[in-house]
Amino acid sequence: MNSLLPAANTAGYTMPPTWRLLTKTGYFLGLSGAIGTTITYATAVRPALRAAERGGSADDAAVLRGRSAACAAWAGVVLLAAGYFQLAARVARAGKGTPFGDALAPDRIWHFLRTPAAKGAWIAQGTVYLVQNLALLAAAAAMIALFVPAVRRHADRVVLAALPAALAVTLIAAVPTTTPAGPDRWLDLVLDQVHIVSGTVWLGGLALLVALAATRGRLGEGAGLIWARVWQRFGLVAMVCVGAVTVSGLWLSWKHVGGVSQLWTTGYGVALLVKVLLVGGLVTAGAFNQFWLMPRITRARLADDTATLRELTLGHFPKVVWGEVALGLAVLVVLPFIAGSARTEAGDPKAVFSGGVLAAGAALVAALAVSLYATAKASDHLARRPSATATATATV
């Protein structure tokens, strides 16, 4: 990472070992697949498929439901493998010098999970990880079961059942073993989970929709209407995720970065800056979708222009989303490098929480909510404007 910005003073930065980089990236990839797939299916894909079945497009709905089930099944496989390696990484980190290869041994993992609680803790950390991994096994098993044709016929129920278990994987891991000291520590726990869940829904959802768009050749001419509903619903989900990632990300950055200059003068800051730039690319692509593609999709839908609707939803839109998926994968690669704290590297004191900070945060949340609402209204306004072609036709 030092090669990214050679001028950065990274003397206080400790580069994570390779196994840590791989396991953490893999873990969040697994979470993105499990959480993103289940939530996106429940909130965007499933309602669109049910509407298509009522509208007489049962064949197209069956194709997309089958592909969704296959994606969920593979997401379960990735989650299971990533969860095991992440657990081994926890063992290696707790073992004070335990080689990662040795930490993969089941007996070492079991010993780690059964370690007694530390003095003053209300529960052992190993117990927390044991419960977390039981939830992971439940989520992965439900999703992997979708490889079985008989189970796949009940894909809706299986995915909805796996959804809370997938969320529990990250939420349980955040349970503190001792009572957090101060409201800012509680905010750390809550906003960290908000950041993880919203980010995994956003990235995992994009990946699912790209995979579903690959069924284009098997869909009928009227499939554009199904996809218009899917993209519109997911647009709302993504907008909420953007807001949540922004608010939680700013809080976490304030806790660990003492000044703007630390973004290029510390190892932590360099990694965070790269991540911010990648997320900025994601937001820019999302804005393009919201202000250019979605209005055109809405106009084509209102005009009953099935050919244009199909090309926009299954041609143009997936191309942009492919770019977003690539940026999302890059974010996951950079994520493990964000280790430690820029404040610590720079010798700055810890961030001090106060009522003023809380008030500023509340004002930011309100301003962001207004901004997202204005974005939705602006997109809707653009959709209701007549296109240049329609205006020219009307004039003639």
Encode pLDDT of 253-274 as tens digits.
Answer: 999 998 899 999 999 999 999 9
Which residues, including other chains, have CB under 8 Å from residue 58's CB and lie 6 or more apart? 52
Q: What percent of the chain has pLDDT above 90?
A: 64
Encode pLDDT of 318-335 as tens digits.
Answer: 889 999 999 999 999 999
Average pLDDT along the chain: 89
pLDDT at residue 327, rounded to an integer: 95
pTM for this prediction: 0.90
Predicted confidence (pLDDT) at residue 313 exceeds the cutoff of 70: yes
The pLDDT confidence band at residue 11, using thresholds 50, 70 and 90, is low
pLDDT at residue 390, rounded to an integer: 42
The pLDDT confidence band at residue 396, using thresholds 50, 70 and 90, is very low
- The stretch 369-381 carries a mean pLDDT of 80
Contact between 33 and 204 (Cβ < 8 Å): yes
Domain assignment present for residue 169? The answer is: yes
For residue 234, what are the CA distances in angstroms to 44, 128, 218? Answer: 5, 33, 22
Domain assignment present for residue 315? The answer is: yes
Q: Which of 162, 180, 295 is nearest to 235 (CA)?
A: 295
Compare 125 and 391 and report the one with higher pLDDT. Answer: 125
Number of domains in the chain: 1
Which residues, including other chains, have CB under 8 Å from residue 311's CB and lie 6 or more apart? 224
Compare 168 and 294 and report the one with higher pLDDT. Answer: 168
Which residue segment(s) compose the domain that 70 sits in? 18-388
- The stretch 250-255 carries a mean pLDDT of 92
Q: Which of 320, 335, 245 is nearest to 288 (CA)?
A: 320
Domain assignment present for residue 215? The answer is: yes
pLDDT at residue 182, rounded to an integer: 82
The pLDDT confidence band at residue 60, using thresholds 50, 70 and 90, is very high
The pLDDT confidence band at residue 109, using thresholds 50, 70 and 90, is very high
CA dist., res. 317 & res. 294, Å (int): 9
Encode pLDDT of 184-195 as tens digits.
Answer: 889 999 999 999
Predicted confidence (pLDDT) at residue 10 exceeds the cutoff of 70: no
pLDDT at residue 395, rounded to an integer: 34
CA dist., res. 128 & res. 135, Å (int): 11
Percent helix, strand, coil in the chain, to 5, is: 80, 0, 20
Count CB atoms within 10 A of the CB of residue 23: 24
Encode pLDDT of 126-161 as tens digits.
Answer: 999 999 999 999 999 999 999 999 999 999 999 999
pLDDT at residue 293, rounded to an integer: 87
Domain assignment present for residue 280? The answer is: yes
Domain assignment present for residue 270? The answer is: yes
- The stretch 157-167 carries a mean pLDDT of 97
The pLDDT confidence band at residue 376, using thresholds 50, 70 and 90, is confident
Range in 276-285, 341-350, 368-377 the model is least confident about: 368-377
Predicted confidence (pLDDT) at residue 32 exceeds the cutoff of 70: yes
Domain assignment present for residue 393? The answer is: no
Domain assignment present for residue 8? The answer is: no
Domain assignment present for residue 9? The answer is: no
